[in-house]
């Protein structure tokens, strides 16, 4: 069945916003102008796979919190698409529970009453032509019923293997065509962006064929975190850091993304991906790019993406990968006072699996600023605690006028940006110990977001969804970044192919080989 598309109808007068509140300042949108948060124009948000974990735990609560803050436009609608025999009421009930359980701003019945009037549900499989025809007609009818003016964002909260199927359905029905209804059409693609360089290039090509390149938003939720964006403010809004942010003063950089959980219900995906594809290729390399990039000419999407692309293109793997690329797999152990099973004993994981749950690598950024400075990256599951941080380790002072015994406990100065869970910044430096002798010891100065500001930070998906509806691509990687990241990861995967990962006990900071990697360079991992 092929749907017919009637001509564009007149748009009814705008209705009052879902909630009238005073917008809060958002200094990270533009620090210099200190503009208030922008409210997008009338539009619909279509979520494919709306009954999945991501939609229930992150996307629906984010939509509710935006409504509660008064940041959804007059004429907003949310459409869920999933393979369930549901009506609008069934979906509204699921969405209500998801908003209640996951809201950051507190659940309010009056806000939900307004938001629930905007909710629609379309049942169907991804290869069901009739279901997609119904979805296309639903969006057309919402131009009259909700005043969305032909604007729609499509969120692919689905397995990566389904991306081509859904994209081709949108192409067939012309739902992705900006000119079809007189408004804009955008798509949000969740990571992973492919499985390797070739599949990443194929996916980029397909998405750009269906949507225009400027309307493709490749989402990496780490880039929506407050402290990740504050890294740019830290570097470029302060004169005390940027002069020493280079190889003349920096000894090394360590980026850690540690998780204390296992794979949960993701065995089907994780065992074909592993830690390098799942985390290093996207989250960790994006953090590296933001840390190493040059100052952009402006705080906008094109300028920031350009500088990140330069960094990713300058990354080189060390010649001796056998010494500087380590992968591991967790064994049974104790974590949080409980005994946990090994990776191969997790549900639906093959007993013979050689998939890594830990990866560590040393990278070089071959630019004038960073020549000679090693970047050590690591990520893993079942580590002692959940933490993500960027540690800039400075060189030791070239000369100390104190007695050697007075500085035995003095280490390297460090600037640590904590991305999660205790968002903030730590500066570690030497200070004299009170007393009659000149003993110098490391001390820390901490900045915590939760203590310094009265307003709470928006969740990453809350911020990024708003950016999609506005059309601000600043925090979204473009296809060149994705492909350059795969050019870093593919050689690692080829080197590791056919080998067995090192073992580490759950509750430890990775395998012994990872410690030996830094010891070979005369360094040690920072303990978060």
Catalytic sites, residue numbers:
283
63 close to 171: Cβ distance less than 8 angstroms: no
Cα dist from 233 to 56, 177, 237, whole Å: 32, 37, 5
Instruction: Choose among 141, 158, 160: nearest CA to 150.
Output: 141
5: left (phi over 0), alpha (psi -120 to 50) or beta: beta
Q: How many CA atoms lie within 13 A of 46 on its CB side?
A: 27
Give dist(CA 63, CA 125) in Å, integer: 24
- Element housing 338 (H / E): strand 338-340
Cα distance between the two ends of the chain: 58
Task: Please give the angle made by the CA atoms of 303, 304 and 309, to the nearest 5 degrees.
Answer: 100
Give dist(CA 359, CA 378) in Å, integer: 6
Three-state DSSP state, 131: helix
* 256: phi then psi, degrees, rounded to nearest 5: -120, 130
The secondary structure of residue 86, as a DSSP letter, is: -
Q: Where are the alpha helices (DSSP H) in 13-87?
A: 53-54, 60-68
Task: Please give the angle made by the CA atoms of 515, 521 and 527, to the nearest 5 degrees.
Answer: 40
Instruction: Choose among 342, 374, 346: nearest CA to 360.
Output: 374
- Tallying the residues shown for the chain, one arrives at 528
């Amino acid at each position: 069945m092929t749907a017919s598309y009637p001509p564009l109808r007149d748009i009814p007068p705008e209705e009052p916003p879902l909630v009238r509140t005073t917008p809060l300042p958002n200094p990270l949108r533009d620090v210099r102008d200190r503009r208030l948060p922008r409210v997008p124009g009338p539009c619909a948000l279509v979520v494919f796979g709306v009954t999945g974990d991501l939609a229930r735990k992150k996307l629906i609560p984010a939509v509710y919190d935006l409504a509660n803050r008064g940041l959804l436009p007059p004429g907003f609608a949310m459409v869920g698409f999933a393979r369930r025999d549901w009506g609008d009421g069934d979906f509204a009930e699921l969405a209500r529970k998801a908003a209640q359980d996951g809201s950051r701003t507190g659940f309010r019945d009056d806000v939900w009453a307004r938001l629930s009037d905007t909710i629609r549900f379309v049942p169907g499989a991804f290869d069901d032509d009739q279901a997609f025809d119904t979805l296309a007609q639903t969006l057309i009818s919402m131009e009259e019923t909700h005043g969305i003016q032909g604007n729609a964002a499509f969120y692919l909260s689905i397995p990566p293997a389904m991306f081509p199927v859904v994209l081709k359905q949108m192409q067939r029905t012309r739902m992705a065509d900006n000119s079809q209804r007189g408004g804009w059409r955008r798509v949000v693609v969740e990571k992973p962006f492919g499985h390797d360089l070739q599949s990443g290039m194929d996916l980029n090509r397909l998405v750009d064929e269906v949507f225009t390149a400027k309307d493709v938003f490749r989402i990496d939720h780490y880039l929506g975190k407050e402290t990740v964006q504050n890294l740019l403010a830290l570097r470029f809004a302060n004169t005390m850091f940027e002069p020493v942010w280079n190889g003349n003063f920096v000894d090394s950089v360590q980026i850690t993304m540690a998780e204390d959980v296992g794979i949960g219900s993701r065995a089907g995906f994780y065992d074909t991906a592993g830690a390098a594809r799942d985390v290093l290729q996207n989250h960790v390399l994006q953090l590296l790019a933001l840390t190493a990039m040059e100052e952009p000419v402006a705080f906008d999407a094109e300028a920031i993406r350009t500088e990140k692309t330069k960094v990713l293109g300058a990354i080189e793997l060390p010649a001796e990968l056998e010494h500087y690329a380590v992968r591991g797999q967790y064994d049974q152990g104790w974590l949080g006072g409980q005994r946990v099973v090994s990776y191969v004993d997790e549900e639906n994981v093959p007993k013979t699996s050689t998939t890594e749950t830990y990866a560590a690598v040393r990278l070089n950024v071959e630019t004038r600023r960073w020549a000679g400075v090693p970047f050590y990256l690591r990520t893993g599951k079942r580590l002692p605690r959940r933490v993500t941080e960027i540690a800039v380790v400075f060189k030791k002072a070239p000369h100390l006028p104190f007695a050697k015994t007075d500085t035995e406990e003095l280490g390297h100065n460090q600037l640590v940006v904590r991305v999660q869970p205790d968002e903030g910044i730590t500066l570690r430096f030497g200070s004299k110990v009170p007393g009659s002798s000149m003993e110098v010891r490391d001390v820390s100065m901490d900045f915590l977001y939760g203590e310094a500001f009265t307003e709470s930070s928006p969740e990453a998906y809350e911020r990024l969804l708003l950016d999609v509806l506005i059309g601000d691509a600043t925090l979204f990687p473009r296809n060149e970044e994705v492909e350059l990241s795969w050019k870093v990861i593919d050689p690692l995967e080829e080197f590791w192919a056919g080998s067995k990962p090192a073992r580490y006990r759950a509750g430890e900071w990775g395998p012994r080989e990872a410690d030996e990697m830094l010891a070979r360079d005369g360094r040690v991992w920072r303990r978060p």
